[in-house]
Structure 1
Amino acid sequence: MEDGAPLRIMLVTDAWEPQVNGVVRTLSRVTDECRAMGHEVEVIHPGLGYRTIPLPTYPDIKMALGAKKDIEARFKAFEPEAIHIATEGSLGQAARKICLDWKLPFTTSYHTKFPEYVHARFPFIPLSAGYWYMRRFHNSGNRLMVATPTMRDELAKRGFNNITPWARGVDTEQFHPSLRHKDAKSVYEGLEGPVFVYVGRVAVEKNIEAFLDLDLPGTKVVVGPGPQLEDLKRRYKNVVFTGNKSGEELARHFADADVSVFPSWTDTFGLVILESMATGTPVAAFPAPGPKDIIPGSGGGVVDDDLQKACLEALKCDRVAARTYAEGFSWRSCAEEFVRNLKPQPRPERRRIWRRIRRLGRPG
């Protein structure tokens, strides 16, 4: 934004509401903040009437088919000044091809360790194949936004180019310490303490069993939906499974817990880490990308290769310190960094691009 003027931003994402995950929460909040800052944002997502099929092994996620012509029409009608392709699914692939055919600059972001995600579900697909796919996708853009320094370094070693930081935010009003034992009643009333909670998608790549297999005092709780839910409920009779929670109810499940446990090795950030800390609840995690960038030095949690040790040490953390650390993250600063990373071309060049596309009709 060399002149400080609002931008027309096109966001293309295969992950959108009503999906429940950190990627959707991030993109939704950033979109809201960008609009509040005066930018015009159009979102292309699977819920726009496209024919969809469920993602294999994860039916809650829908993959849109045959969307390319409609995306072309939406591009022409909106004439975006900046294009961000957030995910590598069918919509992301279609938008990427259009941008390359039409010579439109675009940026991408890396939200999930997709190769590990696929390998966890289909072990016969090697990680090298997944990283070839991801490298090919992201290196064709102008910038690749990543959430943490660890993720930046890891991707750089794997041959990814033009990497730039894009931190995350947390709603410190929704996730607040005042919700703990609200009205003198805990959402975990009747459960033996201390309460260790996992919050997130219940899916194989989240490594939840590493948490459920731990020998810990008190009660283990799993909050969230997902394809592995029924299997885990059947195998872990001593664990409390609440299903999906949202809004204040979700925030209270963080606030009333004694420790929030984040066992994933495949996330690139872990938004729930900040949400938990914002309520004052400390976090225990493996030293994976995301946790090891956020937690050490915060006073609000513990990372350790021994997750049991991390959980027990996190019980000793200061809840005030956890909250204070989370207050340093805001969605407005996250959105401002996102817009800076878009780096659109100078306005005269943008106008020339769309004049060329209108003149040629349907390029490519």
Structure 2
Amino acid sequence: MRILIVTDAWHPQVNGVVRTLERVADEVRAMGHDVLFLTPDMFRTIPMPTYPEIRLAMTPPGAVAVRIKKFAPDHLHIATEGPLGQAARRACLNRRWSFTTSYHTRFPEYLRARLPVPESWSYAFLRRFHNAGRGTLVATRSLARELEGRGFNKVRLWTRGVDSEMFRPREKRVLDLPGPIFLSVGRVAVEKNLEAFLSLDLPGTKVVVGEGPALDMLKTRYPAAVFLGKKTGEELAEIFSSADVFVFPSLTDTFGIVILEALASGVPVAAYPVTGPIDVLHGTKAGALDHDLRVAALAALELKREDARALALEHSWQECARIFIREMEMAKEGPQAETAPQTA
């Protein structure tokens, strides 16, 4: 099967969407399928307002449709709702091309954190965007239930995986800091709720890995914390395994691949009992969930590293790719949504 994935999230961004799409594509190709990406670097871009690290594609009318037609995919998957995703959706509806979507990011909550835009307006747009396709893939059951309650009518489960060979327990610790070490990894932005972590009264050292628009402000406000900036690959994996607890303070993530990376590294996780953490950690001995994040962080100190590792091994990118292909095949064979053509 020839699959085209359209995404507004791409390099140089470092986030769960980009990692998921890249790893799934690698596994899907290994299964004998052909995968191509349509990404912002193929067009002229402008910086996203309030978040210049993210570049938004400026897509001339019809340019996206031309590229889709040239690739001639058996199925098209729209991963994001940005300018490229909207242009691809429009092209598919006008030409009756098969497409699915995925829901990775809580844009209504992220937008409201920056601008006075009611979440109901944003969700109305997203509902219309996703319901026009043949299926919307989401990472967790709790998110699926939430979106169905908001009127999303074709929600399908698509789990996440982890590279358990790169992210693994290691004997050598690379962080020479007073312990215990509480680590958080991710985009340093307001929606990640990092202040809830950095403001905690905890022993040892708080460490943050990542970059983003809130980095300078947080460095100034929390001088006792250690900010390591952007890290990837083996260097990131070594940092993960050097921590005693991974703290995931986000209230708005739809999954949190870094949770699996911490677990695979043998590091118990502390988080709020919300979508993502609750789907992965509830009922296990690998993490602590509490509405008081300090309580969760201290409880996670008492958990066993081998239990964290064992839970991570239940998740693989191979299984994630198999689900993706299954959903593409089912959508390709199903009835196309009846939606009026839109002008390109």
The answer to whether the superposition gives a TM-score over 0.5 is yes
Aligned: 1:116 with 2:102 = no
Q: 2:156 aligns with which of 146, 160, 164?
A: 164
Q: Deviations over 1:41-60 (max 9, x none)?
A: 11000111x11111111111
Question: Counterparts of 2:59 and 2:156 in 1: how far apart (Å)?
Answer: 32
Question: Counterparts of 1:310 and 1:167 in 2: how far apart (Å)?
Answer: 25
Q: 1:285 aligns with which of 238, 255, 271?
A: 271
Question: Counterparts of 2:17 and 2:64 in 1: how far apart (Å)?
Answer: 21
Question: Counterparts of 2:169 and 2:174 in 1: how far apart (Å)?
Answer: 14
- Following superposition, the deviation at residue 78 of structure 1 comes to 1.4
- Following superposition, the deviation at residue 11 of structure 1 comes to 0.3
What are the within-5 Å matches in structure 2 for residues 2-21 of structure 1? 7-21=1-15
Q: Does structure 2 retain, via aligned residues, the 8 Å contact 1:222–1:242?
A: yes
Equivalent residue for 1:311?
A: 297
**How many residues are paired up?**
337
Question: Counterparts of 1:116 and 1:346 in 2: how far apart (Å)?
Answer: 34
Q: Does structure 2 retain, via aligned residues, the 8 Å contact 1:277–1:322?
A: yes
Question: Counterparts of 1:188 and 1:161 in 2: how far apart (Å)?
Answer: 47
Equivalent residue for 1:25?
A: 19
Q: 1:255 aligns with which of 225, 231, 241?
A: 241
Partner amino acid, structure 1, of 2:4: M
Q: Deviations over 1:307-361 (max 9, x none)?
A: 00000000011100100110111101101101111124359x99xxxxxxxxxxx
Q: Does structure 1 retain, via aligned residues, the 8 Å contact 2:135–2:331?
A: no
Q: Does structure 1 retain, via aligned residues, the 8 Å contact 2:100–2:133?
A: yes
Partner amino acid, structure 1, of 2:175: Y
Partner amino acid, structure 1, of 2:9: A
Q: 1:61 aligns with which of 54, 61, 67?
A: 54
Equivalent residue for 1:101?
A: 94
- Following superposition, the deviation at residue 121 of structure 1 comes to 1.4
- Following superposition, the deviation at residue 70 of structure 1 comes to 2.5
Equivalent residue for 2:231?
A: 245
Q: 1:129 aligns with which of 112, 117, 121?
A: 121
Equivalent residue for 1:208?
A: 194
Paired residue secondary structure (1:52): strand
Q: CA RMSD in A?
A: 1.5
Paired residue secondary structure (2:62): helix
- Following superposition, the deviation at residue 161 of structure 1 comes to 0.8
What are the within-5 Å matches in structure 2 for residues 138-287 of structure 1? 138-178=130-170, 180-181=171-172, 186-189=173-176, 191-287=177-273
Paired residue secondary structure (1:277): helix
Paired residue secondary structure (2:144): helix
Q: Deviations over 1:218-244 (max 9, x none)?
A: 111110011110110111111100000
Runs of 4+ deviating beyond 6 Å:
none
Equivalent residue for 1:71?
A: 64
Q: What are the ranges of 5 or more consecutive residues in structure 1 without an aligned counterpart?
A: 1-6, 351-362
- Following superposition, the deviation at residue 68 of structure 1 comes to 4.4
Question: Counterparts of 1:58 and 1:196 in 2: how far apart (Å)?
Answer: 27
Q: What are the ranges of 5 or more consecutive residues in structure 2 without an aligned counterpart?
A: 337-342
Q: Does structure 2 retain, via aligned residues, the 8 Å contact 1:67–1:91?
A: no
Q: Does structure 1 retain, via aligned residues, the 8 Å contact 2:4–2:35?
A: yes
Instruction: Return the index of the structure with the highest Cα Rg.
Output: 1
Question: Counterparts of 1:211 and 1:146 in 2: how far apart (Å)?
Answer: 27
Question: Counterparts of 2:91 and 2:254 in 1: how far apart (Å)?
Answer: 27
Question: Counterparts of 1:295 and 1:68 in 2: how far apart (Å)?
Answer: 45
Partner amino acid, structure 1, of 2:256: G
Equivalent residue for 2:32?
A: 38
Partner amino acid, structure 1, of 2:311: Y
Question: Counterparts of 2:292 and 2:333 in 1: how far apart (Å)?
Answer: 51
Paired residue secondary structure (2:63): helix
Q: Deviations over 1:66-114 (max 9, x none)?
A: 2443321221111111110000000000000001111112100110111
Paired residue secondary structure (2:163): coil
Same amino acid, percent of matched pairs: 55
Paired residue secondary structure (1:41): strand
Equivalent residue for 2:340?
A: none
Question: Counterparts of 2:62 and 2:27 in 1: how far apart (Å)?
Answer: 29
Q: Give the TM-score normalised by the residue count of structure 1.
A: 0.90
